[in-house]
Structure 1
């Protein structure tokens, strides 16, 4: 439940229940202003009713009929604080008016104070004159408030994605056929083997994920997720890829409504059907909420990388990022360091700095989805073969469309482009992928 809007089921239950109530106090005669305002309310024109009644509040406050109509108009037009005051004036004169007390509870809920709303509804339910059908409806509302006070229960979500297409460079390799290695320059250029040259193949890919969020209290939630992917390149087993990642953590909402979270993650990556790398570590994040569904996040991470058959590459990776998020896009600045744990691997240690922008924009019944990122990497020590420190700049771009074909099922054509510039020819490459996928979300 938000501060701006009460779920229709709650509002509907109140109106339906109170219509059935037979023993509610009411004035014998209602003046014309209140009658006209009531007509506006029945026509779903709460703003007009509020504009008519609010200027009269100073002279009419204390009249239960007027205050009740003003309370309804204020609540339904986005002024819950004024509605609370108006309904309190009604109850000061008519303490047994269950209808006014129910509307007062609704106003508290609209204002975000569900504890007081729950207490007011509980008082209404205890009224012995309340008909049983109405009492049953209000009992359900009280249980719903209890669920919110406890934190909201448990939510499960996820997706499954099946896609296929063409990849111009499945091994992210140079398109050169031969290069000169400075250490052996006297021997002239050397021919590159097939595995070290750019290779294009068609492929298919499967991805899936499931996540769960469970409330411990209104402020604290536990969360966890599992993500897996499999990619098969046609007639090229050596560069097939798979990954699996498990994440679990806790998030706590502060009194300011900002959120602090801490999570741990384990990931395994397979290359050519053999286990290639494991990574495990922790991520901390602070999210500051802004108006209009926007947010700023600051995150830090520390991971250990273990390579199955290449201990020289084993490293610790730590970094930080700051992101701006709104309803359409996510913009991120990030940076950090990957430090090999063996001195003999210093030429693989590197620092990085990056920026990215992702968006999803609804247009004409479909969603346009895209992203752009850039990263700069500088390596710590000279490469033993190429006799210089490696320096890379990489740009990635993607664009696609999500076309709904059924409830929460989308057709997803997509194209991506990657360009990595490197001062060492072996790592300088270009890559394009084009694919078509079907994605189901739940």
Structure 2
């Protein structure tokens, strides 16, 4: 009797282990985009695992990706009924609603997810589907946003810490100056569909920053863009005309106009790649005309999500050149940049993001020949940590700590900067 019991328990354990291995195999197949094979692995396990949120999610996803959104809806609904905060299942349920033609349910689920501070990759997917839904309905979408930010900046004017350069004492505006600051801003976004996949994307924004202890760098910034976006379930292409203008201490500082294009697409379900390009011109105020340049930029981007969409890793590689408009300008340069982001959603309300960036600038000319005999080289390093708290679907509070360091062989352009701030944003849709 005892021997029979042991054998029975062993058989049960072996069966459970085999089923667990099958679930892992199905997950691996789905990650590789082999949804039909995953479905063939999962369907024989239905009687044993139906009601298990992991199984229901995997079979629902496999059904969705093999052209059966109706059955996928039922499986994904079961997963969410067991785990209501299963964000990945909710996102794929919204996709299943969309694929089955239930646009109202899809829109409701996508909008609920959007209001829960999703990771950047998930946010892009959500916006992509909402754009597709709006396009089908030929519906104009408007978004209004107000923001306020306050904090402390150790170097509000991004200036050097040295007091003397080439035998001359630097004035206050040319030396590192710390200050508390307050920022106020607003933006408007208008999305107008032309067809099921093409829409007009118009954006306007303004921002003002006041630095009580460094008022000579108080600034006002305005920006506008007008573009076309072609959106499908698997990819997004855009072409956009962008412009901005900056005033510092009440005087014109700079203005820019550029034509930018991008194309990003799904390589795998949780991996997205993209390419981008921009050509434009930046012009400065009368006292800084020597800095006027034509700019050219190319880049590639990537974003990978994991842990059911809670985590994300992103990266970009950029290369560009600035060509001076004046023959005697020293501001021609070649640039090469790297950027890395990592984010994690602790819950639907709390998210953390870390960003690191490096920009190498190799100038064509020598600055201050009396002191230096080689062209200027700069290495700009930027690090930041941001914590977001989604108070309600319409209110977002963020805390940011950022570090910037410009390392260069020309002392007067070298600087270090630490900024910490708290911001509050309100959105209307």
TM-score bin (small chain): 0.5 to 0.7
Distance 2:222 2:291 in 1: 20
* Counterpart among 238, 250, 253 of residue 273 in structure 1: 250
Residues 230, 84 of structure 1: alpha-carbon distance in 2 compared, 3 angstrom cutoff: closer
Please state how far the C-alpha of 1:168 moved relative to its aligned partner: 0.7
Q: Secondary structure at the match of 1:336?
A: strand
User: 1:212 matched to which residue of 2?
Assistant: 190
The residue number in structure 2 matching 1:438 is 424
Partner of 2:328, secondary structure, is helix
**Cα distance change, pair 197–354 in 1 and its aligned pair in 2 (3 A):** same
1:50–1:77 contact (8 Å) kept in structure 2: no
Q: Which residue of 1 aligns with 2:273?
A: 296
Q: For residues 111 and 342 of structure 1, what CA distance do their matches in structure 2 show?
A: 54
Residue 183 (structure 1) aligns with: none
Aligned Cα RMSD in Å? 3.4
CA distance in 1, matches of 2:183, 2:45: 57
On the 8 A contact 1:237/1:273 being kept in 2, the answer is: no
Any idea what the Cα deviations from partners look like across 1:369-407, whole Å, max 9, x if unmatched?
Answer: 231101100100112454441110010011121123333
Cα distance in structure 1, aligned partners of 2:265 and 2:398 = 32
Rounded Cα–Cα distance in structure 2 between residues aligned with 1:192 and 1:378: 25
Query: Which residue is equivalent to 1:336?
Result: 320
* 1:284 aligned residue (249, 261, 266): 261
Q: CA deviation at 1:207?
A: 2.7
Q: Relative to structure 1, is the Cα distance of residues 352 and 77 closer, same or farther in structure 2, using a 3 angstrom cutoff?
A: closer
- SS at the partner of 2:210? strand
Q: Does 1:350 align with 2:333?
A: yes
Give unpaired runs (5+ residues) of structure 1.
1-46, 53-74, 87-108, 119-145, 181-188
Asked if 1:166 is matched to 2:152, the reply is yes
Q: Give yes or no for contact 2:273–2:300 (8 Å, CA) kept in 1.
A: yes
- Give the equivalent residue in structure 1 for 2:389: 403
Q: Structure with the greater relative contact order (CA < 8 A, sep ≥ 6): 1 or 2?
A: 2
Q: How much has 1:292 moved relative to structure 2? A: 3.0
User: Bigger CA drift: 200-209 or 414-423?
Assistant: 200-209
Could you say if the C-alpha distance between residues 51 and 111 of structure 1 is closer, same or farther in structure 2, counting changes exceeding 3 Å?
farther
Matched, 1:367 2:351: yes
Equivalent pair of 2:178/2:213 in contact (CA under 8 Å): no
- Whether the 8 Å CA contact 1:401–1:412 is kept in 2: the answer is yes
Shift of 1:113: 6.8
Shift of 1:429: 0.9
Residue aligned with 1:150, SS = helix
1:8-407 alignment, distance < 5 Å: 51=46, 79=63, 112=99, 114=101, 150=136, 153-180=139-166, 189-253=167-231, 257-309=234-286, 310-327=288-305, 328-345=312-329, 347-363=330-346, 365-385=349-369, 386-388=371-373, 389-407=375-393
Deviating more after overlay: 230-239 vs 422-431: 230-239
Identify the residue that residue 65 of structure 1 maps to in structure 2. Answer: none
- Give the conservation status (yes or no) of the 8 Å contact 1:151–1:220: no
Alpha-carbon contact 1:151-1:216 (below 8 Å) kept: no
Name which of structure 1's ranges 425-434 and 151-160 shifts more when overlaid on structure 2.
Answer: 151-160
Counterpart CA distance in 2 for 1:401 and 1:174 is 30
Change (3 A) 1:177 1:384: closer
Q: Distance in 2 between matches of 1:428 and 1:276?
A: 21
Partners of 2:169 and 2:252 lie apart in 1 by: 29
Q: Deviations over 1:25-46 (max 9, x none)?
A: xxxxxxxxxxxxxxxxxxxxxx
Q: Measured at CA, do residues 76 and 266 of structure 1 come closer, stay the same or move farther in structure 2, by a change above 3 Å?
A: closer
Q: How many residues align?
A: 318
Q: Please tell me whether the aligned partners of residues 135 and 194 of structure 2 are also in contact (alpha carbons under 8 angstroms).
A: no
User: Residue 281 of structure 2 aligns to a residue in which SS?
Assistant: strand
Counterpart Cα distance in 2 of 1:407 and 1:258: 27
Q: Deviations over 1:299-331 (max 9, x none)?
A: 100011111212221110010111112453431
8 Å Cα contact 2:69/2:97 also seen in 1: no
Work out whether residues 134 and 141 of structure 2, in 8 Å CA contact, stay in contact via their aligned partners in 1: no
The aligned counterpart of 1:23 is: none
Offset of 1:359 from its aligned partner?
A: 3.6
Which residue of 2 is the match for residue 130 of structure 1?
none
In 2, Cα distance between equivalents of 1:413 and 1:149: 35
In 1, Cα distance between the equivalents of 2:198 and 2:325?
A: 37
Q: What TM-score do the two structures reach when normalised by structure 2?
A: 0.66
Give the greater-gyration-radius structure (CA).
1
Q: Structure 1 residues 48, 224: CA separation in 2 closer, same or farther (over 3 Å shift)?
A: same
